[in-house]
Amino acid sequence: MAGTAQGYSDDAMSGKHTTPVIPADETGIAEAAAVLAQGGLVVIPTETVYGLAARADSDAAVARIYEAKGRPSTNPLIVHVRDLSQARRFGAFSPKAEALAKKHWPGSLTLVVPQRGDSGLAQAVTAGLPSVAIRVPAHRVAQAVLAQLDFPLAAPSANRSGFISPTSPEHVLASLDGRIDMVLDGGATETGVESTILAVRDDGSIDELRTGPVDGFQRVDRSSVLERIEAPGQLASHYAPGKPVRLDAREAEHNEFLIGFGPVRGDVSLSSAGDLAEAAARLYDCLHLAAQADKSRIAVAPVPNEGLGRAINDRLLRAAAPVD
């Protein structure tokens, strides 16, 4: 289809879907658990974004994630588990990591810790690294699915690699329709941006590898550490809408779709009230709308770089970065 934005399928944009979308009720959750047990791909809602889940202990199932997303094999995945007790089966938790987990789990925090030698995880989950990224999601549907499984789930965002993350089933189908087995429909996600990722080092220090809803940590300077990807969301170009993006815009220029915030009105607004929580929840929906609009460029109003604004600006900077 001429003019289709990068990452969107023609069928998904026309409303014709191949992948079934199942209500996240008791029957749907049981069906999802059965598909996952057989090595299938199921999209599940979390409080942050929708995740493309497969059993993390199966090489074949994890390979399907990378294939469906078109994801580089050097980009590790987050392992989702029920609770801290299950997490200890896969990662070695120092006292500091234990304290962070007890404070923020279940919730929007991912911890990167040393992987246990007997973890049983598929090697591709960690991209061959000695560490593993683990999270306990807070969303009732994700928790209900995990409660029915005796294995962990690898679950990156349910979108084509590098493209806009999904906060609704419609966003998922826009880029993954026909590539996955089913979508569990839990409605729009609440937080709207991916989890904060913290690496807990052997010396007890903590590096923030990705900003997110859990705030108050020091972002790692990538120039001062090993030049390798340790966790998702570290690529310079990411969350791309397939069009040039101009940031800190106070008005639209020619052929631009303007995403407003606060006093800056646009074609859509992250939050007309200037509320950062609302802006985070609406960020990816607004980017999806901009990607599908008939204007060839995107402009985004300034967002304060504090609190959740740090996470919003991090995603916007990566969305605006040129693709190598």
Tell me the per-residue pLDDT of 229-277, one tens digit each, with 9 for 90 and over.
Answer: 776 766 666 778 999 999 999 999 999 999 999 999 999 999 999 999 9
Could you tell me the pTM of the whole model? Answer: 0.89
Give the residue with greater pLDDT, 44 vs 14: 44
232 vs 190, higher pLDDT: 190
Q: What are phi and psi of 191, to 5 degrees?
A: -85, -45
Torsion sign across C-alpha atoms 284, 290, 293, 297: negative
* pLDDT value at 66 more than 70: yes
Q: What is the pLDDT of residues 216-236, one digit of tens each?
A: 776 655 444 445 677 676 666
CA-to-CA dists, residue 140 to 29, 190, 192, 225, angstroms: 11, 12, 16, 37
Helix (H, G, I), strand (E, B) or coil at 246: strand
Q: What is the DSSP letter of 124?
A: G
CA dihedral 185, 186, 192, 197 (to 10 degrees): -100
